[in-house]
Every structure is written in C-alpha cells, then in structure tokens.
Structure 1
Amino acid sequence: MDIYTKNLNALKQKDPLLALSLAQVEPNKNFEVFMDVNDPANFNIISKKDLKPIFTHKPLEETLQKITDFIPYSYYPYFYFYGLGNGIFYKMLLGNETIKRIVIIEPEIEILFIVLNLVDFEQEILSDKVILLYTPYCNDVMVNSLFMMDKKSRLYAKVYDLHVFNFFYEKYQEDIIKINQYFIKAIEHNVISVGNDANDAIVGLKQHIFNLPDMLSSPTLTNLIDELRERDTAIIVSTGPSLSKQLSLLKQIAPYATLFCIDASFPILYKNEIKPDVVLSLERVEATAKFYTDTPKEAQKDVVFAITSIVHPKLKDAITEGVKQISMRPFGYTNMFGFHKYGYVGIGMSAANMAYEMVVHSRFKRCILIGQDLAFGADGSSHAKDAVYGSDEIKPKEQKLFVEKYGGGGEVETTLVWKLFLQFFETDIAHTPYKIEVINATEGGARIHGAKEMSFKDAIALVEKKHKIPLKLKYPDKKTISKNITLARKKCEDIITYGSKKKAQVEKIFLKVAKITEDLEALNEKNQLDKINFKKIEKITTEVDKIKDWFDDVKFTDYFSDAIQSYIFHQELDIARILVRYTQDDMQKKAKQIEWLYAHKYWLFSLAGGIDCVISIVKDTLEMQKQFTHFK
C-alpha cells in the first residue's frame, strides 16, 4: 500500500471531512514539487501563483536548523503549529518521546495532499499524535474539542504558543490571528470550566450522597427519555429579558409543543397560566428552592421536575406535587456509584444547557430556544419581568465583556458566566449526533452560532398542531430501591476505607519532602549547597511521580478528582512551566529538580487535605441521611 493511501485511510477514521476534501484535490494545480533525486527528504514546494517556495535555500538544511532552533522546547509535550511545510520537520520532531501531540493547521489543501503523498504519518494520525486541521474547517468548536479529547493538554495552558512554520506562511496573517483566538478562547473555556472553588465540588458530593435515597426511589432518566421520544418540537424556556414578549405566543403553542422550562422561569409561566412539561434544576445553591416555595402547589401538578442529585435538599423538599425525576451530572463522584439508568445530564453549566442535552437524548426533530439572551437587555436588565429575584438581579460589571449580538451587526454586553453558557450551547449544537433543527427565537441577546435565527411567531408555525401526550413515569419497586440504597451505602464505605489508605500514603511522602526541603534550607544558610544529596532527591521525586500516577487510575479519579481538581489543577498549570523549562547543563537540571520538589510540597499537602475532606464529608453525610441506616 502506498504512503498516500495509508495516510488517507487513517484520516478517514479520524477526520472524514478532510479525507473527502483530499480525495477531490486536483494535483499540481496551485503548487509544484521539486524533488532531490539523491534524498527524498530534501524536497521543496513552490506556489505557482507567485513562484514563492516554502524553503528559500536547501529544504533539508533549513529543516535541520529548525530542529536545532526547537531544542529549547525539548520538554514540551504539546505543540501547535500553523503551516505543514513539507512535513519533514514534524517527522523529525516526533523522534522526541516527550511529545504527546502535535496539532498542525494548514491553509492549503494541496500542500496537505502533497505532503501526505510523500511522508508517512499513518500511525501518528491513528494515535492522535499528529492532528491535521484544514483552516476552512477549523472553528472554535473544533479547537475546543482538542482540549476535551486530551484533558492533560489543559495542564499546559500557560505555556501555549502557536508557532508559525516559517516566513512562507506570514501572508496568512489574518488567518493566523483568527486561529490563535480560537485556541485562546478554548483554553480560557477549559480552564474556567474546571473551576477555582473546591467548595462547589465538596457541596455537590455532600448533597449527591444525601439525595441518593430519594434519587433511587424516583423514576429513572432513561424512563423519562423514553417517554419523550418520537416527539416533534421542544421549546426551552429560559429567563432572559426577552422572555416577557414571547409569553402570549408560548401560551398558544403550549398544548402542542413539549415545554422544557428552567427553574427560574417556572414562577413566570405560572403567572401567565402556562404549564410546562418538564422543569429543570441542576444547581447546588439553596437559593434555587425559592423558585418552588414562591409558587403555589397547584402549579406543580402534572409537571415532571427533572432535577440533579446535587441540588440543595430544600429545593428537593419544596417539590411536593407532580413527579420528581432525579438524575446525575457527569462527575466522577456520581459515575462511581454505577446507577447509570439515572444519569447523566448537566455537563453544561446551566439548566438550559441541561435541557438541550435532554432534548438531544430524546431525539426531538426540532428545538426552539426563547428567553436565552445570555446578555443584558437594552435597559440593562438581566432577567425577564416577574423573575423571582428581580429583572435586575445581575448588575453589569465595570469591566465590560461583549459578544456578537442576535441577528449580527454589532455586540451586546454579557458576563463571563453567560459567555461560558453560550460556549456550552455552541459546542453541544455542533456535536449533536443527528440532524436536529435548532431555532433561536429569543429575538434578542447574544447570537448562538449553530442555531437558526427566526422570530418566535414563525418558529411556532412549524410546530405540528397535534395535542401532546402527557408524560407518565414509573417508580421502581421497593425491593429494587432497598437493593440500590444498600449498594450506595457500601460504595460510600469503600470511599472511606480506600481514601484513608491513600491519604496515609500521601502524608508519608509529604513528610519526606518537607524534611528534604528543610535540609536544603539549612544547607543554604550554611552556604553548603555542594553537600545536597541529589540521589535522595531523585528517589523522592520517583515516589511523588507514583502518587501522580493515581490520576490515571479510574477508581481514584472517580472518588476524589472532582472534589480536588480545582486547586490541584491550578497548581499543575504552574508546575507545567517548570517541567517544560529547558536545562542546558547539570547545574540547571539540579536547580529544576529542587524547584519541582518545592512545588510538590504544597501539592502533596493539598492532595492529602482534599482526600481527608472527601472522607469527612462522606462519613458525616452517611450519619445525617437516616435512610442509609434504615437499609443497613
């Protein structure tokens, strides 16, 4: 099999769209290849349009010089390049075993075609070690998926750089800037989505465990999804400033479309005599209970309340009518219990994001968004009229943040959180696994890329005027409930036992590191740094590395990663800077070792504290939740 066929077959598995484009390339149309008969690696590519070559001198010599220039990057595991060149540089660069992935963006399909005919990247493409992106297909969603696909790449966010291959690609300056912005946006999104408040995850874990008996007594998510299948149109009702103007039309279409309403919109719909089919809540905070306590009980009748297992118990208890269907958000500490029929939705950060996931799982033909402003109204309002916490609940910040406005032609003011919700929507729409018509009928606020913009009046004209069937969910039997609650309790007990062992191991290593750093400081004070025992440092470094390997273990990450990742992640961002630093001699290498060790002193302290916190939370919650004792 020739090189091109091997490369193309690999791309068909990894990037079918690019493979299809390559199959349609007309050879030698815009570029010509000049080969060295004595060395197949020494070939140049010249543009027919302006007669400019990729290499001005000898290609192989320039490539070898570039390899030399990249010696300071020897410890970088992730690279991002604009320009494929003739491909030889990347083939040589891949000889460095430190490299986990090279992302190469190429603006010319014919250059991709030429290189893939001459350089074998089959195995690198199949293993995702080389990812080739063609710029016309490159967008923010695609770039964001790179960091979702390999989450370790996020740890190197602070050392990101988009390298331009050489001067030949400088004419694509506008494209380079655009692509670079995609990467910066994706890195920002991924870093923010990890969070910086460990308390959120701890509260979520506590409330998840406390709510487990009620979740296991409720209908399953799969039951709800099955009931929602084969339906025509879903309308997701959010609480943006524009919602008020849509309510009269929503009331007219309510008998025919399936209404997914976020919790904050529930009281507004009740006041306007509109009954939603599904009301969604996913947040941890107690304040969201007010959306139910401030609404008369009769409003809850015949409504399915799709809430997550991490909501505040007061919210859960405020729902006394209708059907409570409790699912799980896709976190390690929810997945580890194994109750997969109850999960998983809520990968996004808002109830509206969760509603869209549910719509997709149910395979609706059409999804209409209203009240999804994700921006301040023209009058500075943040929410619709009659919102429980007021239409001006969120105040504009002094430091303004803007996004493209609905309909285009300008920008609207948003917040960092709303922008994150927007990015989740765009990502989810782009990754929807089937053809769904997504219509943004908000008629205001931010533009949601991937959604068709249409007036709500025109959007509801597409809805099939056939009365919808009420949702009827089934509760599990008592025997199943008892069995599952017993399994949940045993899992909690295993977290305590397993976690206690791991915590003891971390504390042991921490004390060793603390002792070494104390010894280093003592030697420094005495001006005796020549007496540093580097064999001892290397030994403890290996022991710390073994602890870090736990993060590749599914059980450990399921039990503890979500609860500790926020502060561990932000420490890792700085540790990555140390890891990639190039050392030219033994002295620099030793200095780097010491700096790495000091960074892990606090890292180990944080890890032990995080594990201990999880153990304490699980113990306390088991004692608080009497239903666990009842089924013991």
Structure 2
Amino acid sequence: MSNSEITNPRLEKNLSALAKKNPLLAGQLRLLQPNKKYEVFIGEDPLNINIYDKEDQVALFQNEPLDEVQNKIVEFESLKLYPFFYFFGIGNGIFFKLLLQNKSLKKLFIFEPELELIYIALNFADFEQDILDERLLIFWTKTSSFGELDQYLVKEGQWIYSRIYNLHIYNNYYGRYSQECLFINTILTRSLEHHVVAVGNDSTDSLIGIKHHIANMPKMIETPSLLELIKNAKNTNTAIIVSTGPSLYKQLELLKEYQDYVTIISVDASFPILVKHGIKPDIVTTLERVKETAEFYKQTPKEAQENVIFAITSIVHEDTTNSISNGIKSFSMRPFGYTRFFELKEYGYAGIGMSAANMAYEIVVLSRFERCIFIGQDLSFSIDGKTHSKDAIFGEKESQYKQKENIGDKILIEAYGGDGYVETTSVWKMFLNFFEKDIADTPYPLDVINSTEGGARIHGTRELSFRDSLSLVTKDKKKQIKLQSPTKEKIKENTKQIESKVKEFLEFGYKKKKSVEKTFLKVVKMTEELEKLNKENKLEKINWTKLEKILDEIDDIKLYFQDDLFIKAFSDAVQSYIVHQELEFAKIIVRPVNNLIEKQVKQIDWLYAHKFWLFSLAGGMDATLEVVKEEAKNWMKIPEKFYKESYIRTLSKGDKKQEE
C-alpha cells in the first residue's frame, strides 16, 4: 500500500512515529499490500476485533477477542510492577494499549512474525507517543538479528532484570511460529547473558586496570594519541585484521605475498607468528592488563619492532610497555569510567570490546577504511581441539581453554559457511557478540569480509576465501604510517590536568565513601533491632518511621549510580559486587503488594538485601581510592589530608552523636 493510500489518521500517526525510531520497519509497512493473508472482523464494540488467517483458515482469537484481552489483563495484574515485558505476537494491539497504561512499565518489546499483523494493529490503537518515548518497541522477526536488537535491550539496564525475564507468547495462534519464537528467545537470552557476563564477578581485574592506568598516564601523555593514530592509520584502502585462531597458519603465505598492498593490523598474540614468517604488520593492538602479554614482544627480535605502531591501552602491565623498545607506542584509553574521569579525550576511547581483535576493528572503523578482512578469527576450537595457530608462543592448545566432554555442556555456535556448529567458550562467544554488535553499528558502508575459512560464523560479514578477498585489493604500494608526538607544551598541560584530576578523584571519592559507610552502620543497627524484637516476639514495636527513613537513605545512595562523576570514579571497580546483587533485588522490586503486611515484609526484605550491598559498595570504593592514591604518589605529591584518620572507614564521635 503506498503512502498516498493510507487514509486512517491513527495509522498515519503511528507510522510517522515509527519512521523516527525504526525507519526500516516503517518503510516496509508503507510498502505493504494489506488484506492478502488476513481479514479483519469488528464486533458491535469497536474494541472487539478478530482477525482471520485466510491461508490457515483460523482466527487469531478462538473466543470473543475482548473477553480474551480482559482475561489477559487480569492474568498480568500480578506482574504490574515489572518494568520490562517481552512479547511474541502483537495480536490486534488492544491488549498492549491497555498494558501501556501501567506507569511502572518502562519498555514493552513486541516481536511479530507477520508484517501484515503489525499493520492491522497500528490501525486500531494509537501508539504514537509510546513509540516516540521508546516505551513501545515493535520488531518484525524477519529482519531481526542480535546486532540490531542488542542496542535496544540495554538502554535502561534491562539485563539487571534478567532473572525474571520471560518471552510471553501472545496467544495460541502464535504456536505455529515456534522456530521464529525460539530464534527471538535465543537473541534475547544471548543479549541478557552477554551483558551480565561482561560485568564479570570479580573486582580484582578492574582494580588492576585502575592501578595500571594511573601508573601509565605520565607515559601515555608523551605518546601519539589515539586521535593522531586514527587520522593517519589509513595508508591503504584495505585493512586485514590478523588474529591467532587455528586457521591462521594456512593464510600466512598469501598474506606475505600481499603485505605491501594492505594495512596489516595484528593482535599482539599474532605478532611473533608474523615476524617468524617474514611479515611486518603496520599496527599491533594490545589491550590486556596481564603480565604475560609482554612475552609476545620479549620473544621477538627487537629489530622486528622498528616502524611498527603498537596501539596499547592505558591498562597494560608495565612489563608490556617496557618490552616495546624499538616500536612506536601509541597509548589509548579503554572506555571505562575511571579513564573517562581524566578527560583526556584525544587518548580515548578504543577497546570497547573485550579482545585485541575487537579493538583492531574499532581502529579500522574510526580510520574509515573501505574494506576490512578477518583472518585467524576462529572464535572456536578446531576439529582437532586446537585453540591457536601453529607457532603461537603459548602453544596450539592453551590450557585455559578446555573443551567440554558432554555434548549438553558444550557451547555451540553456527559454523563458518553455515555448515553445522562448532564448539566455543563463553569468552570467545563474548568476543563474537562484540564483533556482531560493532559490525551492525558501523556508521558507514564498510565492506567486512570474513576470510578465516573456519571456526565460527560472524553475522554481518561476507564470507570469502582469503584468495578471493585479496583479488579485490588494488596493488598500489602502501605508504608508511607516520605519527606526531605531542609537544612539550601539550605534555605539560596534560600533566597538570592528570594531577588535578587525581586530587578531585580522591576528594570526591572519600566524601561519598563516608556517606555510604554512615548509611551502612544505620542499616546494621536497624537489623540488630529487628532481630532482637523478633527474638522477644515484639515485632509490633518496630519503628516503621525510622526504618522508612533508612530506606530513603538507601535510595539516595542508589541514586549515586545516576551521577556521572560517581559512575566514572567507581562503577568499574564496584559493579561486579553490585550487579550480581541487583539481579536478585529485581525479584523483590517486582513483587506485588496487596496490603500493609505485605508492604512491611517487602520493606524488611529490602533493608536486609542492602546490608551486604552497602558493605560491598563501601569496600569497593575504599579499595579503589587506595589504589589511586598509592599509584599516583609515584609521580605526584598526594595532599596529606588523604592519609588522615578522618578518611578511613570509621565514624568520628561527632558523626556517631549526629546519627543518634
């Protein structure tokens, strides 16, 4: 149906709103020829709308449509505090219009396998404002993918509610779309899992990253910035990202033949392999904080580093930076909160993904290459159980990656070429997720080719043999990449800035930590009172006014996580403590309250849940502040006040008196 034929003003308003938020779907709906598969029947009540499937000769509603809608509203009454809903099937749209009247509902996702049913639903309900506010998000399953959907599934931290996630099938009619439903459910669970796993469950790595970042900053500001690198990295039209999967070895001969005509961006683990085979990369990426990364440079001749640009992040170990002695180091910052705190924008931000190859792809996109070719990007075990290429310095079967013995325990993903499945690990799967997200989000028409010829399929790439992909390369000699180091004046300016930001970090951090500790002590005291009253069977003497005041203070502390400065300073170090507790808190949040007793029980549960939460938060903040202070004192003078008794985790007598 063409745009000129749309006469229903409600439909036009919905489509216009949809065009601003999901232009592809809006365009598809405008081109749709209606009444092909479905016929609409409206009863005496204009909301009593049934839809007949002419192909399968079945109605969407087996009973009175309005009765079914009303029964469904009653069914979802117990879920009225859920902030996010996911539905497979849009039906006639009336149920969702009623559901959106619930102010607790932040986002409603609808995945519909039939484009014509979306069109019909948009005729009968005014969704304009809900679409514009992004409270209602409608997707046609035929054009849905992980890369496209993931960005919508994280905007408001939906993954915090992953333990209460459910994909609701609208009604029995949609049972005929079981494969599409499973496909959507796989995408949703994959996204939720990806973001929970990415947070991690151990703060140690984050604290090590902060430690290295603080230690490396004086060195970082003396090197060419990330901005300088991406301005000059494109010395050919084609970038080849060289990873270290088992399939890499078979590609080395061709890569050597073409090395003078392409830009080779190698991950650090591939560097020794390339050197051994007479191949000099243009750029080598390193983003890991572990000491072992230095071995990739220690075990290669120093002369092999000459004229190579080593794009390294500010969180790498000092052994890594020290082992790069002949190359050109270009530091950058990963997009962590604590790196953003220092506001050195020219040095940020690369390393959004979790691997050196993810970082390499970011550099390719930022530098605006016209073509990107992956080799060695297996992201899976080879048929014979290998994890890495021949000549990899830690061997072809790294012990940290182990195949599962039982088929039910294996993580299987689609194989390269779509021919069956291959076994991967949770870490490699996370790398794959970042690739597919980044490829989907690439802001210009980059030709992304996967020439790994093995391993996992990376959706969003073209699959070509390495020889065929190289046939697209123009054999023009590449120019050398030249980078300018910052001037002495710029280094001096940035030195002042990082010193000033360290002081600001400590001043702000200790103040906030003290506030968290005071609330924690109040929670401890209140829980002790509750336990005493419970033991004495005197629960009627609970001071609810005092308890509610403490709950308000907890809410105030939780608002810290909406404060950009607090997020920058502490989110990375404390999120592994906090997030996994928040996943459980979600169950309490959505628990309905029907009377005063249920409300009071919920309040007590909320209080107890946050006892360890506050303890964890204060501990994580304290550890972060100590790391910043101890590392920064190696290159700047730390004000004495940050070492005084008032800044450690105790309350002064005055504070105690005020609390009482």
Band of TM-score, shorter chain: over 0.9
Change (3 A) 1:379 1:52: closer
**Aligned with residue 19 of structure 2, among 12, 24, 29:** 12
**Aligned with residue 249 of structure 2, among 244, 252, 268:** 244
Give 1:403 shift.
1.9
Change (3 A) 1:493 1:256: same
Match of 1:497, SS? helix
1:524 alignment partner in structure 2? 534
CA distance in 2, matches of 1:169, 1:442: 39
**Aligned with residue 470 of structure 1, among 439, 456, 480:** 480
Q: Does 1:383 align with 2:388?
A: yes
Amino acid at match of 1:82: F
Give 1:47 shift.
2.0
Amino acid at match of 1:437: D
1:625 alignment partner in structure 2? 635
Matches within 5 A, 1:82-101: 82-101=88-107
Q: Does 1:340 align with 2:345?
A: yes
**CA shift digits 1:462-513 (9 cap, x unpaired):** 1110010000000111111011111111111111111111111111111111
Matches within 5 A, 1:342-491: 342-394=347-399, 395-398=401-404, 399-491=409-501
Give 1:230 shift.
6.8
**CA shift digits 1:175-197 (9 cap, x unpaired):** 21221111111111111111111
1:64 alignment partner in structure 2? 70
Match of 1:291, SS? helix
Give 1:322 shift.
2.2
**Aligned with residue 273 of structure 2, among 268, 274, 277:** 268
**CA shift digits 1:287-322 (9 cap, x unpaired):** 101111111110110100000111111101111112
Match of 1:624, SS? coil
Give 1:359 shift.
0.6
Q: Does 1:255 align with 2:260?
A: yes
Change (3 A) 1:476 1:627: farther
Is residue 486–residue 628 contact of structure 1 (8 Å, CA) maintained in 2?
A: no
Give 1:579 shift.
0.9
CA distance in 2, matches of 1:376, 1:107: 34
Identical aligned pairs, as a percentage? 50
371-380 or 260-269, larger mean C-alpha shift: 371-380
Change (3 A) 1:472 1:627: farther
2:32 alignment partner in structure 1? 25
Is residue 503–residue 638 contact of structure 2 (8 Å, CA) maintained in 1?
A: no
**Aligned with residue 614 of structure 2, among 576, 601, 604:** 604
Give 1:596 shift.
1.0
**CA shift digits 1:433-467 (9 cap, x unpaired):** 11121111112222222222222122212111001
1:501 alignment partner in structure 2? 511
CA distance in 2, matches of 1:174, 1:267: 45
1:218 alignment partner in structure 2? 223
582-591 or 278-287, larger mean C-alpha shift: 582-591
2:152 alignment partner in structure 1? 146
1:281 alignment partner in structure 2? 286
CA distance in 1, matches of 2:554, 2:321: 43
Amino acid at match of 1:34: F
Match of 1:261, SS? strand
Match of 1:625, SS? coil
Give 1:233 shift.
0.6
Amino acid at match of 2:20: Q
Match of 1:41, SS? coil
2:195 alignment partner in structure 1? 190
CA distance in 2, matches of 1:113, 1:379: 51
2:135 alignment partner in structure 1? 129
Runs of 5+ consecutive residues of structure 2 not aligned to the other structure: 1-7, 640-660
Give 1:27 shift.
2.3
CA distance in 2, matches of 1:230, 1:14: 37
**Aligned with residue 51 of structure 2, among 38, 45, 50:** 45
Q: Does 1:163 align with 2:173?
A: no
CA distance in 1, matches of 2:422, 2:184: 23
Is residue 284–residue 311 contact of structure 1 (8 Å, CA) maintained in 2?
A: yes
1:300 alignment partner in structure 2? 305
Is residue 86–residue 168 contact of structure 2 (8 Å, CA) maintained in 1?
A: yes
Change (3 A) 1:295 1:603: same
CA RMSD of aligned residues (A): 1.6
Match of 2:48, SS? strand
618-627 or 487-496, larger mean C-alpha shift: 618-627
582-591 or 213-222, larger mean C-alpha shift: 582-591
Amino acid at match of 1:117: N
CA distance in 1, matches of 2:234, 2:282: 14
**CA shift digits 1:79-133 (9 cap, x unpaired):** 0011111212111112211111000111111111112122111111111100001
1:563 alignment partner in structure 2? 573
Q: Does 1:542 align with 2:552?
A: yes
CA distance in 2, matches of 1:254, 1:628: 49
CA distance in 1, matches of 2:149, 2:78: 26
CA distance in 2, matches of 1:52, 1:204: 59
Give 1:626 shift.
5.5
Give 1:18 shift.
0.3
343-352 or 28-37, larger mean C-alpha shift: 28-37
Give 1:141 shift.
2.1
CA distance in 1, matches of 2:53, 2:387: 53
Q: Does 1:116 align with 2:122?
A: yes
**Aligned with residue 587 of structure 1, among 597, 610, 616:** 597
Count, aligned residues? 627
Amino acid at match of 1:112: I
Change (3 A) 1:412 1:61: closer
CA distance in 1, matches of 2:422, 2:97: 46
Is residue 112–residue 138 contact of structure 2 (8 Å, CA) maintained in 1?
A: yes
1:574 alignment partner in structure 2? 584
Match of 2:58, SS? coil
Give 1:55 shift.
2.5
Amino acid at match of 2:623: C
Is residue 236–residue 261 contact of structure 2 (8 Å, CA) maintained in 1?
A: no
**CA shift digits 1:9-31 (9 cap, x unpaired):** 11111111100110012122222
Give 1:34 shift.
2.1
CA distance in 2, matches of 1:172, 1:385: 45
Give 1:140 shift.
2.2
467-476 or 92-101, larger mean C-alpha shift: 92-101
Match of 1:128, SS? coil
249-258 or 180-189, larger mean C-alpha shift: 180-189
Give 1:162 shift.
0.6
